[in-house]
Structure 1
Amino acid sequence: MLVAAATTLAVAVWLVVRDPQAVVLGYVWGPAAMVAAAFSLQRIGSMVVLPRVVRAFWRQLGHAAVILALSCGAALALANNNAGMSLYVAVPMLTGMFWTMTAFLRLPFGDRTPLGWARVLLDLATVAVAGGLLFWYVVLSSAPSGTGLATRAAAGTVGVAGLLCLTVIGQAAGRADGPIDPLALRLLTVAPMVAVALAVLLIAGNDFSRLLISVGGSPLVALSFASAAYQQRRAFGRPAADPATRPPRRVRTELVPLTAVTAMAVLIGYVAVAEMTTRARNLIFGGVVIAVLVATRVLLGLRDGRRMMDGLHDHQAELERLAMTDALTGLANRPRFVSVLTERLAAHRPATVLLIDVDDFKMVNDTMGPALGDQLLYQVAQRLQENSAAQELPARLGGDEFAVLLDVEEVTSAEEAAGRILQALAEPFRVGEHQLLAHASLGVAIAGPGDSADEVLRNADIAMYAAKEGGKAAWIRFEPRMRQDVVNHARLGSELHNAIIRRELFLLYQPVFDIVTGRLHGVEALVRWKHPTRGFVSPGDFIPVAERSGLIVPLGSWVLREACEQLARWQREHGAGAIKAINVNVAVRQLREPGFVDEVAAVLSETGLLPQNLVLEVTESSVADGRQVRETLHALHEMGVRLALDDFGTGSSSLSLLRAFPVDVLKLDKSFVDGIADGEDRGRLAVAAAVAQLAEYLQLSAVAEGIESEAQLERLRSMGYRLGQGFFMSKPLPADEAGALMGAPATVASGFGLH
């Protein structure tokens, strides 16, 4: 483009300081400019990231520029002959213009049916006939007497070809969603305008105007070609306009044949006045008036039809906008997000998806009501909108799940965007009269070669859940190994489902001792799985799978019933020597079940146990899950079932839970027991001592978990702990071995020789 602009400027300078004896210096710039334009067009036509139809269009224009360069070369060779428009110049020029027209006709514009093609051909024929007659009668008749017939015929043909090119470009510009940038199309109209001007000035112009268009036309056409290619490249670098909001191109293509008819009416009137008899003149005038009236009537009808179609288009655009917009937040919805992502992947453009899920939104919705929950979602959407760049697309996919589409593929840029979004969401939200923190978990997925929109979204979803499992309020970038982990989890979930049916699961019982007397106080039921081919499967592997798949509900029901039945058998076998209660872990998914309280009551009734014979262990995160869980826990407590707060001290709101949660037992987490024996970790010592004092003050039972050495046992005993469990005293035992401890005297049990 710079070369074409420089040659155009050089021609302008030469025209000012020209030497009549060195005309060839004016023509030398045309071939150079056209070669530069051909290079520019071929370069953008080879960009593989562009759609195929766009690449083909610009490549064909590049071929046309090469042909026009040959015409410029012929004009340079004949510059000193003063031969007008030679056939050596006209033939390649007309060939290049024809090749340009076919490039536009290959674009997907208008109606591609036979009827649509017939309309296009009729428009072209109308313009060709009208233009031919105008050039023949008006322009050619004004040619100087010395102008040769070949020059006049060639110039007239070039002029008609220019008018046809303008018509074809108008047809291409009439498509609202055309693949070529509209400004690039307008720049390309310079070329046919130059052709028409060349035809007129070569025939009817003076010597200077003919020289001006002869030497300046080619660089100007080359500049229009190169500028259009540059504009198309810039348009590709910008984010694509949303089809739902893109204003339609209002190109009145029906004016082309009407303009031709009007021009012919004026010409006929002129001929009638100048050359015909009065009778013939009156007849001609009558026909012209009728033609003008009919044309005016058609134009008015077209105007009404256009107005109606514009209204329909506006209505359709509004419906499409509503269909592609989330009603609550005003962001793009899932269909629009998937559509834009699909288009970007089809065009081989960079794409990265950030999938965002608001952490613990269900608790906010349950405790504060759906109205405030909606306000929070709206403010999250506004925060995403404010912190997204112009080329990024934020969207609400549904519920509390959001997404942002980035036009990057670099890992660093994607991770920086993820950190920026999480930092923006970490600021407190003002919702009504409340200040709320709404942290989020975020998954990053960078589109790879051949990925579909569904695959990219699925990858982002996998990464987002990995971020949640890693502790929430964080982001994780998807890696291919994660997909295999998901496949393995799904396979393990299927096998776990079969294991529940085939009774491959069994329980072990972790003894809980009175660490002062050494007697067995109770047991905690722990589920284990012996796979027929894998062998023993770790609970750390299959419990998360059960929670994610929902199998934790039937699994937990089986554990509850099996543990209660075992306690009933021990009571029958050992009588007063049997333990008084059994501990069973309960997942939050079980507590959310509406019928869980009735299920517990039914199991106790069927096994003959009393509510105080059952201790249900729940985690701090379960207690804070929401209103449904709290109501379930209160109902269980009112029934008489004892509740234990497991892993106490690891959460962020342990003390506040004691006020709202009907707790009976505090179980000090193993992380506070580790390292307290040597007395160097003052933080762990302080927490362990505080929990013991708190339990005593609130009249709760305190149990220390994970005791692995005698030194730890002695330190905990000195702090006031009465109950403890861990491998130092005993590993988890089968039912018969755990039952044997119930009949053992305290002196045997106090030796803790089972570890």
Structure 2
Amino acid sequence: MTAPVRPAVFAAVANLGVLVWLLVRGDDVFYGYLGGPIALTAGVYACHRIARAAGLSRPAQRFWRRLEYAGVLLLITACVAVVRANNDAGMSLWTAVPLMSGVLMLMVAFLGLPGPSRTGSAWVRATLDGLTVAVAAGLVFWYGVLDLAPRDTSLTARIVAAVVGVGGVLLLVVIGKSAAQPDSAVAPAALRVLTLGPITCVAGTFLQIAGSVDARMAVSVLCLPLTGGALALGAHLQQRALDRPGGAAPASGRSLFNLLPLLAVTAMAALVISVSAHDLTHRQRIIIVGAVLIAGFVATRQLLSLRENTVALRGIRAQQAELERLALSDNLTGLPNRVRFTVALTERLDAGEPAAALIIDIDDFKMINDTLGPAAGDQLLYAVSQRLRNQCSPGEMPARLGGDEFAVLLPAVDGAADRVLQAFAEPFTIAEQQLLLHASAGVALAEDCETADEVLRNADIAMYAAKESGKASWVRFEPRMRQDMAAHARLAGELRNGIAGGELRLLYQPIFDLVTGRIHGCEALVRWQHPVRGFVSPGEFIPCAERSGLIVPLGSWVLREACEQLARWRIERGAAAVEAVNVNVAVRQLREPGFVDEVAAVLSDTGLTPYDLIIEVTESSVVDGWQVTETLQALHDMGVRLALDDFGTGQSSLSLLRAFPVNSLKLDKSFVDGIADGADRGRLAVAAAVALLAEHLQLKAVAEGIEHQEQLERLRDMGYRYGQGFLMARPLPAADCGALMADAPVHVA
């Protein structure tokens, strides 16, 4: 038996014991009254436990604490009743004072529940409802119930009975209105069970005054045990609502307790008719009956209005629930969206519960979306969402933040990130194709953050760190990452100003004919001379430009500047000028829809032909998607020559040559290093294979990074006709490179 159920069982056993005693009781009533302390002790203990339960909102915790205090007061009442069992079985001040205090504390607990904000008129209506019920109940008790009391009943007992009885009726009104709230802080089922307390209070007061001896005895011993059982069972239902996924079920919004003011009017009408039956003339009775009929008509009209309002309110709440669902969920996947995720994370932060945010971004999703089409991309996102939903454990919440970015709210990090990312371990079947996806993820703990937005921002920073470290992995956020991100943002801002302010310049590294020693071409290389930082390495600002999107304006500037310089060399050097200039182009530029037109415009403005321009791209750029493929094909059709840079480092180099309109291959420097002495047979084999491949495909082979004479000779023997490197010339300013064109050939023998 679990701990939350045990108090309710003990209270039920206590009530059952009292019922058995009533059936077989003797003259000693002491044992009959023992059920009250036992049941109320169980109820107080249950309220104490649920008031400190994890996950319960603060208003609900305050409510159950007040019920605990009320239960203590009623427990005192029960203990006094046990002590005085054989002396006084009726109502007395000794039992009435803690009893009325307990009823008052119950009313304070229910009045303290949060509800919708009320206008002034709403408060007036609520006050009038309470006064209507209180006056009607008071008159009914005073004129009806107390009139039936034995003549030897003391005035104190009569007053206590009226106060406790009216208080119980008012408590029913308060509980009913609280249970009808659609967003009650307490489980609606628990609120309904708790009505057993005031109901037994009202019935007990009536029977204590006007009932028979057996009825008075039954209510004396059963009233408090039933209240204790209601407290224990209500706490149990609240715990079940906490354990239920999604929290407590919403209230229906309709409560019979709303009819209490109308029932009060009806009761008063009946009372007036009863009174008017004595000592009144015939005409007076007719007037009173007419007034009662009018009151009845008004009450009936109010009942119909109440029914119409209930139907309309149900429709409004259904629409509100649907709007909330649409506002808090993603239409494509059905997962919670960013707003719902942020709200859930905020709730955990406010409750002081451990939490972590895992942000997942699908690697190279754009390429898949561009290749298979948006419809297949949507199917893939839906399939990913279902995998994440199935991979998550209880207490974890997956969400789609937007695009191909997902998130999971975790109670802890240990082992969870690896387990969640197992959703990408198996291939996805989309458009009759098997796709093996990889994802980069970042994790941030909530313990060091003040807001949910800060947690998400940290997880996002960690996710980008995972992408930069090679993708298909996850990284845990560290404070230094925020500093790196801030430095990157500052560098991006300074780079933007540098492009606009003319801080960039081009150097040109000559490409030589390894047979004749003459300069054959040159590669444009961008450099940045910062006014404060000084020289900034391309290895630092080029990745920054690619991440920030500044590579597009930077690349445009390099393209135009290089073409203009070639045009100037043609004027200055004539036939001695190089036949073409090499310009590196990033994949982000190739994705731009107007890039081909931009190249055509630059060539036209500078008076060059397409043959005068060689665009260098990396192998990873070529396989980026159909957009890049179409752009490269359009450039080739225009007559612009294309070169594969860093050739040999990619994973699909040979297959690219069959589909890619390439004109030259540039052997990566990593294969040139160490081939001079022939010790690295692997590099030798790759370098020789690339030269042979270029020869058979009638492509130009260029070796990069030549730094020693032995390397040059070995490459030339392999069949490389062209090369560049520090051995022949470092990157030079435009004037020095132009002068080199008219000089004698470099020594390559």
TM-score, normalisation: structure 2: 0.87
Is 1:470 the counterpart of 2:474? The answer is no
Aligned equivalent of 2:157: 151
Is 1:68 the counterpart of 2:92? The answer is no
Once the two structures are TM-superposed, the CA of residue 628 in structure 1 deviates from its matched residue by 3.5
Once the two structures are TM-superposed, the CA of residue 275 in structure 1 deviates from its matched residue by 9.4
Q: Distance in 2 between matches of 1:329 and 1:15?
A: 56
Aligned equivalent of 1:79: 85
Identity in percent: 58
CA change 1:314–1:86 in 2 (3 A) is: same
Is the Cα contact below 8 Å between 1:353 and 1:403 reproduced in 2? no
2:414 aligns to what SS in structure 1? helix
Written as runs of structure 1 = structure 2, the 5 A alignment for 1:251-266 is 251-266=255-270
Q: Distance in 1 between matches of 2:30 and 2:148?
A: 28
Aligned equivalent of 1:404: 407
Is the Cα contact below 8 Å between 1:620 and 1:646 reproduced in 2? yes
CA root-mean-square deviation: 3.8
Aligned equivalent of 1:510: 509
Deviations along 1:142-166, one digit per CA (max 9) or x if unpaired, are 5456654433442343222222111
CA change 1:675–1:267 in 2 (3 A) is: farther
Is the Cα contact below 8 Å between 2:55 and 2:242 reproduced in 1? no
Once the two structures are TM-superposed, the CA of residue 101 in structure 1 deviates from its matched residue by 0.9
Q: Distance in 1 between matches of 2:223 and 2:541?
A: 78
Aligned equivalent of 2:310: 306
Q: Distance in 2 between matches of 1:44 and 1:316?
A: 30
1:202 aligns to what SS in structure 2? helix
Q: Distance in 2 between matches of 1:287 and 1:151?
A: 34
Aligned equivalent of 2:668: 669
CA change 1:427–1:196 in 2 (3 A) is: farther
Once the two structures are TM-superposed, the CA of residue 255 in structure 1 deviates from its matched residue by 1.3
Is the Cα contact below 8 Å between 2:18 and 2:35 reproduced in 1? no
Aligned equivalent of 1:430: 430
Q: Distance in 1 between matches of 2:557 and 2:118?
A: 66
Is 1:357 the counterpart of 2:387? The answer is no
CA change 1:90–1:709 in 2 (3 A) is: farther
Q: Distance in 1 between matches of 2:417 and 2:437?
A: 20
Deviations along 1:386-419, one digit per CA (max 9) or x if unpaired, are 4455655444444x2343342x331225414542
Is 1:59 the counterpart of 2:62? The answer is no
Deviations along 1:344-402, one digit per CA (max 9) or x if unpaired, are 5455555544434343333344344434444444444444444455655444444x234
Q: Distance in 1 between matches of 2:697 and 2:112?
A: 84
Is the Cα contact below 8 Å between 2:424 and 2:436 reproduced in 1? no
Aligned length: 743
Q: Distance in 2 between matches of 1:727 and 1:77?
A: 106
Deviations along 1:318-343, one digit per CA (max 9) or x if unpaired, are 34444444444444444444455445
Is the Cα contact below 8 Å between 2:667 and 2:690 reproduced in 1? yes
Deviations along 1:593-632, one digit per CA (max 9) or x if unpaired, are 3443343334334445443232111122322333433333
Q: Distance in 1 between matches of 2:294 and 2:39?
A: 49
Aligned equivalent of 2:499: 500
Could you list the runs of 5+ residues in structure 2 that have no partner in the other structure?
Answer: none
Is 1:294 the counterpart of 2:292? The answer is no
Q: Distance in 2 between matches of 1:662 and 1:82?
A: 108
Is 1:172 the counterpart of 2:175? The answer is no
The 10-residue stretch of structure 1 (698-707 or 365-374) with the greater mean CA deviation from structure 2: 365-374
CA change 1:169–1:577 in 2 (3 A) is: same
The one-letter code of the counterpart of 1:553 is V
Deviations along 1:67-91, one digit per CA (max 9) or x if unpaired, are 3333334333323322422212111
Is 1:636 the counterpart of 2:635? The answer is yes
Q: Distance in 2 between matches of 1:238 and 1:495?
A: 54
Once the two structures are TM-superposed, the CA of residue 8 in structure 1 deviates from its matched residue by 5.0
Once the two structures are TM-superposed, the CA of residue 170 in structure 1 deviates from its matched residue by 0.7
1:184 aligns to what SS in structure 2? helix
The one-letter code of the counterpart of 1:589 is R
1:703 aligns to what SS in structure 2? strand
Deviations along 1:461-509, one digit per CA (max 9) or x if unpaired, are 3333333333334333333322222211111111112222333222333
Is the Cα contact below 8 Å between 1:409 and 1:447 reproduced in 2? no
Is the Cα contact below 8 Å between 2:180 and 2:251 reproduced in 1? no
1:456 aligns to what SS in structure 2? helix
Is 1:187 the counterpart of 2:193? The answer is yes
Deviations along 1:566-591, one digit per CA (max 9) or x if unpaired, are 44455555555543332211112222
TM-score, normalisation: structure 1: 0.86
Q: Distance in 2 between matches of 1:619 and 1:35?
A: 78
Q: Distance in 2 between matches of 1:232 and 1:312?
A: 27
Deviations along 1:24-83, one digit per CA (max 9) or x if unpaired, are 455456456545644554565567965443343333333323333333343333233224
Is the Cα contact below 8 Å between 1:666 and 1:700 reproduced in 2? yes
Is the Cα contact below 8 Å between 1:8 and 1:216 reproduced in 2? no
Q: Distance in 1 between matches of 2:250 and 2:717?
A: 76
Aligned equivalent of 2:134: 128
Q: Distance in 2 between matches of 1:148 and 1:708?
A: 117
Once the two structures are TM-superposed, the CA of residue 663 in structure 1 deviates from its matched residue by 1.0
Q: Distance in 1 between matches of 2:53 and 2:386?
A: 37
CA change 1:187–1:652 in 2 (3 A) is: farther
Deviations along 1:638-684, one digit per CA (max 9) or x if unpaired, are 23221111223333443333333211112233444456667676665
Is the Cα contact below 8 Å between 1:11 and 1:26 reproduced in 2? no
Once the two structures are TM-superposed, the CA of residue 273 in structure 1 deviates from its matched residue by 7.2
Could you list the runs of 5+ residues in structure 1 that have no partner in the other structure?
Answer: none
Written as runs of structure 1 = structure 2, the 5 A alignment for 1:27-66 is 27=33, 30-31=36-37, 34=40, 37-38=43-44, 40-41=46-47, 44-45=50-51, 51-66=57-72
Aligned equivalent of 2:654: 655
Is the Cα contact below 8 Å between 2:380 and 2:428 reproduced in 1? no
Once the two structures are TM-superposed, the CA of residue 527 in structure 1 deviates from its matched residue by 1.6
CA change 1:416–1:626 in 2 (3 A) is: closer
Is 1:101 the counterpart of 2:107? The answer is yes
Q: Distance in 1 between matches of 2:712 and 2:114?
A: 82
Q: Distance in 1 between matches of 2:685 and 2:160?
A: 102
Once the two structures are TM-superposed, the CA of residue 216 in structure 1 deviates from its matched residue by 4.6
The one-letter code of the counterpart of 2:559 is L
1:258 aligns to what SS in structure 2? helix
Written as runs of structure 1 = structure 2, the 5 A alignment for 1:346-745 is 346-388=350-392, 392-398=396-402, 400-406=403-409, 408-412=410-414, 414-416=416-418, 418-423=420-425, 427-431=427-431, 433-448=432-447, 451-515=450-514, 519-571=518-570, 575-673=574-672, 686-707=685-706, 716-717=715-716, 719-727=718-726, 730-735=729-734, 738-739=737-738, 741-742=740-741, 745=744
1:444 aligns to what SS in structure 2? strand
Is the Cα contact below 8 Å between 1:139 and 1:204 reproduced in 2? yes
